[in-house]
Amino acid sequence: MIRRNSIRNLIDEIGPVDQAGIEERVAKYTTRSIKKSSKLFGLRLATSMVDLTTLEGKDTPEKVASLCQKALRPHNTPDIPQVAAVCIYPAMVRHAAKHVKGTPVRIASVATAFPSGQAPLKTRLAEVRQAVADGADEIDMVINRSAFLTGQFCLVQDEISAFRDACGDSTLKVILETSELETYDHIRAASFLAMRMLRPGDFIKTSTGKTSSNATLGNNQVMLEAIRDHFLATGTEIAMKPAGGIRSAKQALQFLIAVKETLGDAWLNNRRYRFGASALLNDLLRQLETQRTGTYQAPWSFTEDSSGY
Amino acid sequence: MPAKKNTARELLFGDLWEFDPAPESAPAHITARYGLFIGGKMVTPKSKKYFDSISPRDGKKLSEIPLANAADVDAAYQTASTAFKSWSELPGAERGKYLFRIARLLQDRSREFAVAETLDGGKPIIESRDFDLPMAAAHFFYHAGWADKLDYVAPGRRLAPLGVVGQVIPWNFPLLMLAWKIAPALATGNTVVLKPAETTSITALKFASILTDAGLPPGVVNIVTGAGETGAAVVNHPLAAKIAFTGSNEVGKIIHRSLAGTGKKLTLELGGKAANIVFDDAPLDQAVEGIVNGIFFNQGHVCCAGSRLLVQESIVKEILDRLKRRLATLRVGDPLDKNTDIGAINSKEQLTKIQQLVKSGIDEGAEIHQPACKLPLNGFYFPPTLFSSVSQSHRIAQEEIFGPVLSILTFRTPDEAIEKANNTPFGLSAGVWTDKGSKILMMASRLKAGVIWANTYNKFDPSSPFGGYKQSGFGREGGKHGLLEYVLMK
């Protein structure tokens, strides 16, 4: 009997990724020139896609309250869209619920022993159920990288489907932690493993923001292409969330151009695409205000209610 | 999973987020009328004649270009011949200084030159800005480095310059081809009479001002403009020690014939009909990107364009679907817009030629695919075009179209791919796409082409020799090989 490594088998099935080629492709996004009304549209769209995040040991109910306030009212000028969600630890979900329940801003909670995922399955499942019970609309889980890298794909997928079931009606976001998978082939493989377990509208997400390297145009592109291939093969629309490392409005626009040119118009909304970020929001606001007033505003004219990754 | 649902499933690349025009606004500083650059000065042509330079972007006149006759070309050769003595005797390090200066001046004025190149030739500003100009400067830098090291090229041998070299260049990369030609000639101590293509003379004539600013001694580089007759005068002048030509096969053959028995050295870089070969184990999205880059770069006005796509039969539908999806996001239009991927066709004549060959493809039964895209009303434009179900005997599989038109053929085995790839009078370049390294090496050793790219396409470097097999010409440009074309080994 010929025994093959399961990662190689999967890559044979879904096709490989060439590193030099994909990086050349995404470099073209950075040369697009977005001006005037198209810039305004992009900035507003990006603002509406932010999962405003705080994930720190020092998070408190008060800190979360101010994050929620910022999410609901990012700036004191009219017409600025609200962000998509606040993204917090499970223990903070019930505090956030007091401020944003009943508003368009959703509560996303990381769970499953975020960021490492190194806890017994029972514990991780319990964490998901508790977060949902406390009011989380979305659960950001981490995949079992240990199982992935040792080729135990059934285990990876079984866990994802267990978390999906535990989510009930809440949306699931599957964090691949791309920097720990390292290669584009691995990222594509993990994307497919996850997507095959997901419902339409669930997300795959690049990273936790807790490692040295997070969302890049390269890993974003690999995942967008995986979503496209999965959609064309099955009809299931999976959403995407790059997280960590996107700090400037300019970067956010480049990521959105990748969405526009890879998945098209149907993914250019906050049900299909999100940014996991905190510092990004104020830069988007700064650029929006620059477009509105014609001049750059001082940094202190934007409220600082988020920090983290 | 029920496969029949598949048909209606497609992505929508619509206008939800349309980009506003983003025209490059830097001035090109094009003057209303140019002179010939002879003996370090802009002079009026003895012919007293001028012709219009048209911008393919909108069909409007940009400038008047002098039409050099035989007397003008003779004047250029005489001054180049006079300048040769002192220029060739300069220490290499001194010649290198001039080349470094030219390279830096090109960098300083790269924005202005990029806009001029786009206005004059129709290529997207993104390409002239990010490819043509940086590469042109890189060629001068590279050869500046050689100028003082010629004694070490071949141990025990000395490299002597040839004399005055006549150079005739094409319209697809006007400034870059000028750099490919002038830089090695000057580094090795030759002097130059250069004729740019008649549709794209402006950046060459602007380049004269860089030579002046660099303080290059008068007569070392002379630029004469005009069409075929001027070119013939350049090629046939008795003072020419060497002719370097890049252009069409027809003209290449004429030059080859007319030089027979004259003792002049000759290098020819002519056409191509490159095979871009995609195996079933290739990284498909990156292959599609490489195919697009291979054929639509510079509107396909590239002698090494990957104009024949050879796809393993088992993945041809997959590749075609992905190509069509990618084409839907290519932006065709005003080349001055920073978001334009495919600009204007260089001239009306070229547009007509492309239209005729595309018509022959349709008439001969190939299947045509073009994305829905709005082309500007004025100027010369052609949409990116795919032909599937193409066989070897179609004209569009044999003749060089030199436009944004891709012919897609299939193969079943590596042997068949090699057979089809080599079944052409050309042999300039080829591409191989596979995830398997050993297959790349096997294919590369059996493909009869001067340049073979693996899992990439249209990559250039001044240190890498470029040139062809068979009717794609002979001689190499770039690298040590290219340098040796401009010297006598003593």
Span A234-288, pLDDT tens digits: 999 999 999 999 999 999 999 999 999 999 999 999 999 999 999 999 999 999 9
Same domain, B220 and B188: yes
Separation between Cα atoms, residue B401 and residue B390, nearest integer Å: 14
Cβ contact, residue pair B5, A268, below 8 Å? no
pLDDT of residue A5: 79
Q: What is the largest CA-CA distance in chain B?
A: 80
Q: How far is B64 from chain A (nearest CA, A)?
A: 33
Residue showing tokens 């071949």: B154
Question: Around B217, how many Cα atoms within 13 Å sit in the side-chain half-sphere?
Answer: 21
- Secondary structure class of B189 (helix, strand, coil): coil
Check A232 against B9: CB less than 8 A apart: yes
Are both B390 and B336 inside the same structural domain?
yes
Residues B450 and B478 in one domain: no
Q: Tell me the per-residue pLDDT of B222-270, one tens digit each, with 9 for 90 and over.
A: 999 999 999 999 999 999 999 999 999 999 999 999 999 999 999 999 9
Distance CA(A106)–CA(A99), nearest Å, equals 11
Q: Are residue B398 and residue B312 in the same domain, yes or no?
A: yes
Phi, psi dihedrals of residue A238, rounded to the nearest 5°: -95, 145
Judge whether A283 lies within some domain: yes
Res B5 pLDDT > 50? no
CA distance A268 to chain B (A): 8
Q: Which residues of A touch B11 (CB under 8 A)?
A: 228, 231-232, 263-264, 266
For residue B297, what are its two tokens? 């770069």
On chain B, the residues whose CB falls within 8 A of the CB of A24 are 289, 456
In this prediction, residue A234 carries a pLDDT of: 97
Q: Which residue has the tokens 């996004």?
A: A29
Nearest chain B residue to A196 by CA distance is: B1
Which structural domain range is residue A200 located in?
A: 34-293
Confidence check: pLDDT of A228 > 80? yes
Report the C-alpha gap between B216 and B210 in whole angstroms: 9
A20 and B289 within 8 Å at the Cβ level: the answer is no
- Give B179-198 pLDDT, tens digit per residue: 999 999 999 999 999 999 99
Residue A3 at interface with chain B, using a CB cutoff of 8 Å: no
Looking up residue B67, the CATH number of its domain turns out to be 3.40.605.10
Does B250 share its domain with B350?
Answer: no
Q: Supply the mean pLDDT for chain A.
A: 95
β-sheet bridge partners, residue B407: B308, B387
Q: Which residues of A touch B18 (CB under 8 A)?
A: 38
- The confidence score (pLDDT) of residue A307 equals 56
Whether B283 and A45 lie within 8 Å, measured CB to CB = no
Q: Which of A16, A38, A231 comes nearest B435 by C-beta?
A: A16
- Which amino acid would we find at residue B80? A
In a domain? residue B25: no
In terms of DSSP H, where are the helices of B133-201? 133-147, 174-187
Domain CATH number, residue A207:
3.20.20.70
Mean pLDDT value of segment B156-175: 97
Per-residue pLDDT averaged across A53-67, rounded? Answer: 95
Percent of chain A with pLDDT over 90: 93
Question: Which has the closest alpha carbon to A217: A248, A186, A256?
Answer: A256
SS3 category, B104: helix
Confidence of residue A3 (pLDDT cuts 50, 70, 90): low
Asked if the Cβ–Cβ distance from A33 to B130 is below 8 Å, we say no
Yes or no: say if A209 and A55 are a contact pair by the CB < 8 Å rule.
yes
Nearest to B337 by CA among A100, A161, A35: A35
Residue B7's pLDDT is 55
Residue B14: inside a domain: no
Q: In this structure, are strands B487-489 and B159-161 parallel, antiparallel, or unpaired?
A: antiparallel
Looking at the structure, tell me whether residues B349 and B309 fall in a common domain. Answer: yes
Q: Does the pLDDT value for residue A305 go beyond 80?
A: no
- Cβ atoms of residues A255 and A284 within 8 Å: no
Contact B431, B452 (CB under 8 A): yes
CB half-sphere exposure, A17, CA atoms < 13 A:
25
Residues 6+ apart with CB under 8 A from B53: B61, B62, B63, B64, B65, B120, B199, B200, B201, B202
Q: How far apart are CA B72 and CA B78, in angstroms?
A: 10
**Is the four-CA dihedral B62, B64, B70, B74 of positive or negative sign?**
negative
Q: Which residues pair with A141 in a beta bridge?
A: A174
Does one domain contain both B263 and B290? no
- pLDDT confidence of residue B8: 67
Same domain flag for B261 and B284: no
pLDDT per residue as tens digits for the range B323-380: 999 999 999 999 999 999 999 999 999 999 999 999 999 999 999 999 998 999 999 9
Strands (E), A1-105: 50-53, 85-88
Q: Identify the CA nearest to B473 among candidates B274, B304, B269.
A: B269
Residue in chain A nearest B338 by alpha carbon: A33
A176 DSSP 8-state letter: -
* Cβ-nearest to A21 among B286, B329, B339: B286
Cβ(A105)–Cβ(A83) below 8 Å:
yes
Could you give the CA distance from residue B484 to residue B265 in angstroms, rounded to a whole number? 12
Cα separation, B402 vs B411, in Å, equals: 24
Task: Provide the CA A226 distance to its chain's centre, in angstroms.
Answer: 15
Whole-number pLDDT of residue A306:
58
Structurally, chain A folds into a number of domains equal to 1
Task: Provide the domain count of chain B.
Answer: 2
pLDDT over 70 at A300, yes or no: yes
Indicate whether B131 and B255 sit together in one domain. yes
Please state the rounded mean pLDDT for residues B288-310: 97
Q: Is residue B411 part of a domain?
A: yes
Given an 8 Å threshold on Cβ–Cβ distance, is A234 in contact with B1? yes
Return all residues near A261 (Cβ < 8 A) that are at least 6 apart.
A29, B13, B329
Domain residue limits at B300: 275-454
Strand partners, A241: A205
Using CA atoms, how far apart are residues B260 and B275, in angstroms rounded to an integer?
A: 32
Element (H, E) at A36: helix A36-48
Q: Is the pLDDT of residue A309 over 90?
A: no
Report cis status (omega within 30 of 0) of the bond before B170.
Answer: no
Tell whether the model's pLDDT for residue B4 goes beyond 80: no
Per-residue pLDDT band at B201 (split at 50, 70, 90): very high
Number of residues written out for chain B: 490
Distance from the A132 Cα atom to the nearest Cα atom in chain B, whole angstroms: 31
Which positions ≥6 away from A133 have C-beta within 8 Å? none
The reply to whether B196 falls in a domain is yes
Closest CA to A137 of A101, A91, A171: A171
CA–CA separation, B388 and B316 (whole Å) = 9
Residue B12's beta-bridge partner residues? none
Q: Is residue B17 part of a domain?
A: no
A150: confidence class by pLDDT, cuts 50, 70, 90: very high
Would you say residue A27 lies in a domain? no
B29 within domain boundaries: no
DSSP-derived 3-state class of residue B131: helix
Mutate to test the interface with B, among A32, A33, A196, A267 (most CBs of B within 10 A): A33
A165 in any annotated domain: yes
Q: Tell how strand B429-433 and strand B275-278 pair up.
A: parallel
**8 Å CB contact between B242 and B166:** yes
Q: Quick one: pLDDT at residue B9? A: 87
B36 near B48, Cβ under 8 Å?
no
* Statement: residue B2 has pLDDT above 60: no
pLDDT at residue A49 is higher than 90: yes
pLDDT attached to residue A1 = 56
Cα B214 to Cα B45: distance, rounded to the nearest angstrom:
24
CB A149 within 8 A of CB A177: no
Q: Tokens 């073979």 correspond to what residue?
A: B452
| A28 inside domain | no
A172: Cβ–Cβ under 8 A, 6 or more apart, which residues?
A138, A139, A141, A160, A163, A164, A198, A199, A202, A203
A308: in domain: no
Q: List pLDDT tens digits, range B206-216.
A: 999 999 999 99
Given the structure tokens 């003008």, which residue do they identify?
B72
The residue count for chain A: 309
> Which amino acid is located at B463 in the chain?
S
Q: Which of B443, B470, B469 is nearest to B454 (CA)?
A: B443
Name the DSSP letter for residue A225.
H
C-alpha closest to that of A103 among A88, A75, A84? A84
B202 lies in the same domain as B111: yes
> Is B379 in the same domain as B473?
no
Q: What average pLDDT does the segment A135-144 reach?
A: 98
Select from A17, A31, A266 the Cβ nearest to the Cβ of B130.
Answer: A31
Inside any domain, residue A268: yes
State whether B352 and B236 are in the same domain.
no
pLDDT of A295 > 90? The answer is yes
Q: How confident is the model at residue B449 (pLDDT cuts 50, 70, 90)?
A: very high
Q: Contacts of residue B435 in chain A, CB cutoff 8 Å? A: 16, 18
The reply to whether B117 falls in a domain is yes
**Per-residue model confidence (pLDDT) at position A299:** 87
CATH, residue B282: 3.40.309.10
Domain for residue B464, yes or no? no
C-alpha span between A50 and A38 (Å, rounded): 19
Active site positions of A, annotated: 140, 205, 241
Q: Residue A215: inside a domain, yes or no?
A: yes
Across A221-225, average pLDDT: 98
pLDDT per residue over B375-428, tens digit each? 999 999 999 999 999 999 999 999 999 999 999 999 999 999 999 999 999 999
**What angle separates helix B284-296 from helix A19-29, to the nearest 10 degrees?**
60
Mean residue pLDDT of chain B comes to 96
